Amino acid sequence: MIPLLQVENLTKHFVTRQGTVQAVDDVSLSIGEGETVGLVGESGCGKSTLGRMIVRLLEPTSGTITLQGKEVAHLRGEASKRFRRRVQLIFQDPFTSLNPRSTVGRILEEPLIVHRLGGRDERRAQVEELLRRVGLSPGAADQFPHEFSGGQRQRIGIARALALSPELIVCDEPVSALDVSIQAQVLNLLSSLKRQTGIAYLFISHDLSVIRYIADRIIVMYLGKIVEVAGHDSLWDRPLHPYTQALMAAVPLPDPQAARSRERVVLEGDLPSPVSPPSGCRFRTRCPHAVDRCAREEPALREVVGGRFVACHLVTAGDGPTDIGPGGPPPPAA
C-alpha cells in the first residue's frame, strides 16, 4: 500500500556567516492514512524545519516529498494551491499565529475564500461548525483573538487547520506553550478529531510524555538525523538507541519510588553545532558507550527487528536487538 506521505533523503542546509547549518540531513520517513507519527528530539535537532518542508513553507535543499505517490516538493502555482488543501499546519505559539486585527470568523473563513469554497452564507455556516467541532461557541466568530485564553486560541488554530478538510496535519509543538491541564484538553481534542475524520498527524514535540499519549509510531531525531523509529509500545518498553534511552530517563515518573529506583542516564557536554557536526555518529560526543568506530563511520538507519529501525553500530540485528545497558555495549561489529 502506498503511504499517505513519503519523505526520502530530505535535506535542508542554511548558509550563514558562520558556515552552512545542516538543519536536516538525509531524512526519510513515511506516514500512513489515519496514522499519528510522533517526531521527538531536543531543541535544535531539526524537527520544526522538517515539518515546515513537508507543508512547503521551506524549500528543501535536496530530497523528495510525495503525497500518495505524487511528488510535491517543488510544486508551483495551482498545483501548489491544491496541495495546501490536503496538508495543513498547526503552529506552536497560539499568541502569534493568529492575526490580532481579524475576527475569529474572518480567520477561519479566509482559507475558504482563498480556495473559493462556497458562498458567503455557506462559509459562515462552515465557520460556525468548525468552532463547534473544536469546543467553542459559534458566537466566538465575532470576537478577536485577544479575547481568548491560550488554550482557546490553539483551538482556533486547530479549527483553521481543519477548514479545508486536509488529509494530513503537521502539528508543530502545538501544546508546548500551554499549561499542563490545557495541554490535556488540546490533545484530547486532536485525538477525538482523528477518530471522527480519519485524519493523519505528524506530531512534533520535545516532550516524550506528550508523544507517548498521542502517537501510534515514534521517530527520534538528533542533530538533523533520525536515530530510532519504533512503534509506540516497543519504544516505550525497550528504547534501543543511547539517545532515546537518555530521553526516556529524563521523563518524570508519578511514582517517587519508581523514580528513585530508575537508572539515571546523564549526557555530558552540549549539543554540537549543526554548522560542524561530529564525524561518524553525531551522538558520539555525548554517548557513554562510544567506541572508535563511532568516530570513523556514520551508522546507517537499519531495521534490527520487525518495524524497529536504529542508527547505532552497537545495536545489532539477528534474533533481536542487543540492549545497551549498565554493563556497557557489546563489541562493535567488524
Task: Looking at the structure, tell me whether residues 91 and 163 fall in a common domain.
Answer: yes
Task: Looking at the structure, tell me whether residues 256 and 206 fall in a common domain.
Answer: no
Q: Residue 254 belongs to what domain range?
A: 241-310
| Residue 322 belongs to some domain of the structure | no
Report how far residue 8's alpha carbon sits from residue 28's, in angstroms, rounded to the nearest whole number: 4
Give the C-alpha distances (Å, rounded to integers) separating 56 from 73, 88, 112, 165: 7, 10, 19, 18
Residue 325 pLDDT > 60: no
Task: Looking at the structure, tell me whether residues 181 and 93 fall in a common domain.
Answer: yes
Confidence tier at 260 by pLDDT (50, 70, 90): low
Confidence tier at 262 by pLDDT (50, 70, 90): low
Report how far residue 185's alpha carbon sits from residue 125's, in angstroms, rounded to the nearest whole number: 25
| Residue 199 belongs to some domain of the structure | yes
Our count of domains for the chain comes to: 2
Task: Looking at the structure, tell me whether residues 210 and 266 fall in a common domain.
Answer: no
Task: Looking at the structure, tell me whether residues 66 and 207 fall in a common domain.
Answer: yes
Among candidates 195, 223, 196, 218, which has minimal Cα distance to 287? 223
Q: What value does the mean pLDDT take over residues 88-107?
A: 94
Task: Looking at the structure, tell me whether residues 199 and 273 fall in a common domain.
Answer: no
Task: Return mean pLDDT, the chain.
Answer: 89
User: How many separate helices (H) and strands (E) can be counted in the chain?
Assistant: 11, 12
Task: Looking at the structure, tell me whether residues 264 and 300 fall in a common domain.
Answer: yes
pTM score, whole prediction: 0.90
| Residue 324 belongs to some domain of the structure | no
Whichever domain contains 180, its CATH number is: 3.40.50.300
Q: What value does the mean pLDDT take over residues 231-259?
A: 83
Predicted local confidence at residue 317, as pLDDT: 63
Residues 11-42: pLDDT tens digits? 999 999 989 999 999 999 999 999 999 999 98
Predicted local confidence at residue 308, as pLDDT: 92
Task: Looking at the structure, tell me whether residues 112 and 164 fall in a common domain.
Answer: yes
Residues 168-201: pLDDT tens digits? 999 999 998 888 888 999 999 999 999 999 999 9
Lowest mean pLDDT among 126-140, 214-228, 237-251: 237-251
| Residue 329 belongs to some domain of the structure | no
Task: Looking at the structure, tell me whether residues 161 and 210 fall in a common domain.
Answer: yes
**Which carries the bigger pLDDT value, residue 206 or residue 257?**
206
Among candidates 182, 239, 198, which has minimal Cα distance to 40? 239
Task: Looking at the structure, tell me whether residues 267 and 148 fall in a common domain.
Answer: no
Task: Looking at the structure, tell me whether residues 121 and 261 fall in a common domain.
Answer: no
Predicted local confidence at residue 218, as pLDDT: 96
Task: Looking at the structure, tell me whether residues 134 and 9 fall in a common domain.
Answer: yes
